[in-house]
Amino acid sequence: MSFSNLLNEVTYRDQRASPAKTNTTNHTESRSQISRARSYASTAATSVSITGDISSQLHGGYSHPLARAWQAERQLTKSMLIYPLFVTDNPDEEESIPSLPGQKRWGVNKLVALLQPLIAKGLKSVILFGVPLGPNVKDTLGTAADDPSGPVIAAIRLLRRAFPRLFIVTDVCLCEYTSHGHCGILHEDGTLNNQLSVERVSDVAMAYAEAGAHCVAPSDMNDGRIRAIKLKLIEAGIAHRVVLMSYAAKFSGCLYGPFRDAAGSQPSFGDRRCYQLPPGGRGLARRAIHRDIGEGADIIMVKPATQFLDIISDAKEIAKDMPVAAYHVSGEYSMIHAAAKAGVFDLKTMAFEATEGILRAGATIVVSYFTPQFLDWLET
Ligand SMILES: [Zn+2]
């Protein structure tokens, strides 16, 4: 309604409501009408929503950037982020990974210089993946996984000394170290020998914990490995100082391609669909989450993240008294880079949208290759 129409309307209503007022002078009447019209204009805006549906009026609540930030149940902070690092057995390695833009394989000797500036910007945590490159280092048992002079244990010791406040997570699996590239020890027919695999994986977790890792994170998906690791931690008297983060809902799929390039963990035959979860298996994921909570996990992880937001939401509901982590995996990261490079969207904007979606679904910890950039972006 235009202002002049509104004025006429008000005058008409006023005359009907208070005919005595017509006795006043024209001059006073005119000023009074305008004043009342203004007053009516302001209340009319309110009465529109009051007589209609007041809940339709939302814009005011997010008109300011800070008010928009407050709309989020969880806002991204630096302490939510874990940065994945690929550490090789060549101490001076610094090798780019073409399918994972901006990420490299690092030798132990390069880690301090890499991390120093990131820690100064607020990096709180890293997750280590060992990448053995030496000749004949892989075998059917993944012997190199807990080699005391191997890259992961060497990195744990170095980082504990160099950065006492850095929280060190170690991925625990055998696939980087086995000659066949699977996440455990195999039967002769090529299927996983669950019992031997759990024994071996839990030994590797113990080796990392005893070397000083703050958190061990088994990603192998063998049944019962959380319980086995927890019992060994208790038996060794270190359960009170080691966080056990379970890759409880880890789905199989094509989003791990760049990671396998980085870690050299492509299976030499078959795939991992008999132990990683089928992408449609929501109920199975819920059962795995329940199981791993019961077996003593301290944190539940969902992986990948943006294709599995419903599972993150399920994890938050099931593990409501525990932190939920999500791994924004290599394929998700590389897709964003590829699309941004093709001009589909702005890299930073999409990195935030993807990560905020993960938080909205229920995670409070995000393993992200964008971590170094977020440390800068969150400053501004
Ligand atoms: Zn594995």
pLDDT in tens, 241-266: 999 999 999 999 999 989 888 888 78
* DSSP string over 113-155: HHHHHHHHTT--EEEEEEE--STT--BTT-GGGG-TTSHHHHH
Check 250, 316, 320, 341 and give the catalytic one.
Answer: 250
Q: d(Cα 80, Cα 217) in Å, to the nearest integer?
A: 16
Q: Which residues contact 272 (CB under 8 A, 6 or more apart)?
A: 182, 183, 221, 252
Q: For residues 13 and 370, which has the higher predicted lDDT (pLDDT)?
A: 370
Residue 300 and residue 292 in contact, taking contact as beta carbons nearer than 8 Å:
yes
Cα–ligand 1 centroid distance for 175 (angstroms): 4
Note the pTM of the prediction, 2 decimals.
0.86
Q: How confident is the model at residue 334 (pLDDT cuts 50, 70, 90)?
A: very high
pLDDT at residue 20 greater than cutoff 90: no
Check 110, 124, 138, 303 and give the catalytic one.
Answer: 303
Cα–ligand 1 centroid distance for 299 (angstroms): 19
pLDDT in tens, 204-240: 999 999 999 999 999 999 999 999 999 999 999 999 9
Q: How confident is the model at residue 268 (pLDDT cuts 50, 70, 90)?
A: confident
Q: How confident is the model at residue 18 (pLDDT cuts 50, 70, 90)?
A: very low
pLDDT at residue 144 greater than cutoff 50: yes
Three-state secondary structure call for residue 251: strand
Q: How confident is the model at residue 19 (pLDDT cuts 50, 70, 90)?
A: very low
pLDDT in tens, 174-195: 999 999 999 999 999 999 999 9
Q: How confident is the model at residue 14 (pLDDT cuts 50, 70, 90)?
A: very low
pLDDT in tens, 352-371: 999 999 999 999 999 999 99
Cα–ligand 1 centroid distance for 205 (angstroms): 13
Q: How confident is the model at residue 310 (pLDDT cuts 50, 70, 90)?
A: very high
Cα–ligand 1 centroid distance for 184 (angstroms): 8
First to last CA, the chain: 42
Annotated catalytic residue 250: yes
Q: For residues 25 and 180, which has the higher predicted lDDT (pLDDT)?
A: 180
Q: d(Cα 153, Cα 158) in Å, to the nearest integer?
A: 9
The percent of residues above 90 in pLDDT, for the chain, comes to 78
pLDDT at residue 114 greater than cutoff 60: yes
Cα–ligand 1 centroid distance for 176 (angstroms): 7
Give just the sign of the alpha carbon dihedral 71, 74, 76, 79: positive
Cα–ligand 1 centroid distance for 333 (angstroms): 19
Please state the φ and ψ torsions of residue 173, each to the nearest 5 degrees: -160, 170
Q: What's residue 154's pLDDT?
A: 97
The stretch 73-95 carries a mean pLDDT of 96
Annotated catalytic residue 124: no
Cα–ligand 1 centroid distance for 376 (angstroms): 31
Q: Which domains does the chain have, with CATH numbers?
A: 3-57 (no CATH), 70-377 (3.20.20.70)
Give just the sign of the alpha carbon dihedral 183, 252, 74, 346: positive
The stretch 319-335 carries a mean pLDDT of 97
